[in-house]
């Protein structure tokens, strides 16, 4: 009897110890940051135009990506993200060679690309090998070609829709002339979205006038505009050409007499005197004229790091990398999964960052709250 009782007591002690250990294990899961320290950094191959005519774009995006990596690594107290930069030189052939090297030699887990032409070349490589690719370009459909592709920049269709809404809702009878940059992305925005939208909304467009990025003399183009009787000018382009164009508009007395509107090209840095831009309507992300605290903190941090304020491309790159990095960490660290896990994490997600609350749709496209701004004293304010 005593022997049986002793055995029972011993058994109870063993069970009690087991339950205590089990409870401790359940109530105190391992620290996720500690778990992350056990794994190597996630390598990301970033292909940017660091030299050549688009190097200003690549350099700003590089700085934004560096800052985003620095912030995420600081958050996890280790190098959890390792970025490998490569120069595309805006050459599709060069980009293809680089992508294969990054994949086969460096064994990256993700690509980041800038511009449609480069993204379009790297995308098939990423898709075939099930590698996540984040693209900083405006083509609204490019990400639909792969479950591993994400467009983390505003869509040209979103910009076009804002401009069409502006023209269609105005009570003033508009006669519009469109000046557009002869660039594949701009031509696509015009032909696929703006022209059909103008026709559908019965907006009177007098004519469309192309120009090249290298154009410096706009005299004849502005004379034709002046003689057309148009009361609205829509400029769709980058920003480097705006200085010459606006000075010619001023010389011929059209500043203040004709309403000017445009897209993200007016948000980009330019050399146009502030008095010439006054009253210009701008379509773009709302964050640019309704900045939240995160946007202000990012601007302060970027200015402290590099000595000047970030532009639109820089902000999109920083915002996009924060989304990408967190998705990769969730999907890859701790052997939770693979590129499919990352993709499932990002698709149909809502993100809160420097651009406010943004979302990624079913196809991997970034949806940014868009709006209209008005340039006053060199600043963009809500329209």
pLDDT single digits (tens) 176-213? 999 999 988 899 999 999 999 999 999 999 999 999 98
315 belongs to a structural domain:
yes
Q: Please report the pLDDT score of residue 17 as a whole number.
A: 40
Burial class (CB in 10 A: 0-12, 13-18, 19+), 167: buried
Q: Please report the pLDDT score of residue 159 as a whole number.
A: 92
In angstroms and rounded to an integer, the radius of gyration of the C-alpha atoms of the chain is 26
User: Are 173 and 190 within one domain?
Assistant: yes
Give tens-digit pLDDT for 315-356: 999 999 999 999 999 999 855 678 999 999 999 999 999 999
User: Are 268 and 312 within one domain?
Assistant: no
Q: Please report the pLDDT score of residue 347 as a whole number.
A: 94
Q: Please report the pLDDT score of residue 39 as a whole number.
A: 66
* Number of residues assigned to the chain: 383
C-alpha 128/C-alpha 131 separation (Å) is 8
Q: Please report the pLDDT score of residue 15 as a whole number.
A: 40
CATH number at residue 103: 3.40.50.2300
Query: At 179, is the secondary structure helix, strand, or coil?
Result: strand
Q: Of 29-43, 125-139, 359-373, where does mean pLDDT reach its minimum?
A: 29-43
Q: Please report the pLDDT score of residue 38 as a whole number.
A: 54
Q: Please report the pLDDT score of residue 268 as a whole number.
A: 72
Q: Of 83-92, 103-112, 290-299, where does mean pLDDT reach its minimum?
A: 290-299
Range of the domain at 165: 157-289+372-382
16 belongs to a structural domain:
no
C-alpha 321/C-alpha 150 separation (Å) is 11
Percent of the chain with pLDDT over 70: 89
**Which tokens in the block code for residue 224?**
């034709």
User: Are 178 and 284 within one domain?
Assistant: yes
Judge whether residue 6 has pLDDT over 70.
no
Whether the CA torsion 226, 228, 232, 234 is positive or negative: it is negative
User: Are 149 and 209 within one domain?
Assistant: no
User: Are 206 and 353 within one domain?
Assistant: no
Q: Tell me the average pLDDT across 149-162.
A: 94
Q: Of 100-104, 285-289, 319-323, 342-346, where does mean pLDDT reach its minimum?
A: 285-289
User: Are 247 and 378 within one domain?
Assistant: yes
Domain count, the chain: 2
Give tens-digit pLDDT for 36-88: 445 689 999 999 999 987 888 899 999 999 999 999 999 999 999 999 999 99
pLDDT band at 269, cuts 50/70/90? low
Q: Please report the pLDDT score of residue 185 as a whole number.
A: 83
Q: Please report the pLDDT score of residue 37 as a whole number.
A: 47
Q: Give me the helices (H) in 28-91, please.
A: 32-36, 55-75
30 belongs to a structural domain:
no
Q: Please report the pLDDT score of residue 334 as a whole number.
A: 54
Is residue 169 within 8 A of residue 360, CB to CB? The reply is no
Query: At 360, is the secondary structure helix, strand, or coil?
Result: strand
Query: At 310, is the secondary structure helix, strand, or coil?
Result: coil
Q: Please report the pLDDT score of residue 7 as a whole number.
A: 39
Q: Tell me the average pLDDT across 276-296.
A: 89
User: Are 174 and 71 within one domain?
Assistant: no
User: Are 224 and 299 within one domain?
Assistant: no
10 belongs to a structural domain:
no
- Inter-CA distances, 225 with 165, 191, 313, Å: 23, 21, 31
User: Are 150 and 298 within one domain?
Assistant: yes
Percent of the chain with pLDDT over 90: 68
Q: Tell me the average pLDDT across 283-299.
A: 88
User: Are 261 and 320 within one domain?
Assistant: no
Judge whether residue 147 has pLDDT over 90.
yes
Q: Tell me the average pLDDT across 287-310.
A: 90
**Tally of CB atoms within 10 A around 267:** 22
305 belongs to a structural domain:
yes
28 belongs to a structural domain:
no
Judge whether residue 27 has pLDDT over 80.
no
Judge whether residue 303 has pLDDT over 80.
yes
Mean pLDDT rounded to a whole number for the chain: 87
Judge whether residue 217 has pLDDT over 90.
yes
54 belongs to a structural domain:
yes
22 belongs to a structural domain:
no
User: Are 378 and 258 within one domain?
Assistant: yes
Q: Tell me the average pLDDT across 76-102.
A: 96
C-alpha 285/C-alpha 371 separation (Å) is 6
User: Are 60 and 141 within one domain?
Assistant: yes
């Amino acid at each position: 009897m005593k022997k049986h009782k002793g055995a029972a007591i011993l058994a109870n002690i063993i069970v009690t110890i087991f339950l205590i250990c089990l409870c401790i294990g359940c109530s105190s899961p391992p620290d996720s940051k500690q778990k992350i320290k056990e794994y190597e950094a996630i390598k990301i191959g970033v292909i940017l135009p660091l030299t050549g005519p688009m190097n200003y774009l690549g350099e700003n995006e590089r700085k934004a990506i560096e800052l985003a990596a620095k912030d995420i690594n600081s958050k996890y107290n280790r190098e959890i993200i390792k970025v490998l930069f490569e120069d595309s030189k805006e050459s599709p052939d060069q980009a293809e060679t680089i992508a294969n090297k990054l994949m086969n030699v460096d064994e990256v887990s993700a690509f980041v690309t800038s511009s449609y032409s480069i993204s379009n070349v790297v995308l098939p490589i990423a898709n075939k090998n099930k590698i996540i690719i984040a693209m900083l370009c405006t083509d609204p459909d490019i990400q639909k070609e792969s479950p591993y592709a994400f467009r983390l920049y505003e869509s040209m269709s979103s910009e076009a829709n804002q401009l069409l809404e502006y023209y269609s809702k105005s009570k003033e009878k508009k006669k519009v002339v469109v000046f557009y940059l002869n660039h594949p992305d701009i031509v696509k925005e015009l032909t696929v979205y703006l022209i059909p939208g103008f026709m559908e909304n019965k907006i009177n467009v007098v004519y469309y006038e192309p120009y090249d990025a290298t154009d410096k003399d706009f005299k004849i183009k502005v004379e034709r505009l002046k003689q057309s009787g148009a009361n609205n000018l829509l400029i769709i382009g980058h920003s480097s050409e705006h200085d010459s164009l606006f000075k010619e508009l001023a010389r011929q007395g059209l500043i203040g007499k004709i309403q000017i509107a445009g897209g993200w090209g007016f948000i980009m840095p330019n050399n146009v005197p502030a008095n010439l831009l006054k009253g210009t309507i701008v379509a773009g992300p709302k964050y640019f004229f309704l900045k939240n605290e995160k946007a202000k903190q990012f601007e302060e941090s970027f200015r402290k790091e590099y000595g000047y304020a970030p532009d639109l491309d820089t902000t999109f790159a920083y915002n996009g990398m924060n989304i990408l990095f967190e998705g990769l960490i969730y999907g890859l660290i701790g052997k939770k999964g693979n590129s499919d896990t990352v993709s499932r994490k990002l698709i149909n997600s809502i993100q809160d960052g420097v651009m406010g609350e943004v979302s990624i749709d079913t196809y991997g496209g970034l949806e940014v709250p868009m709006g209209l701004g008005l340039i006053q004293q060199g600043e963009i304010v809500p329209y």
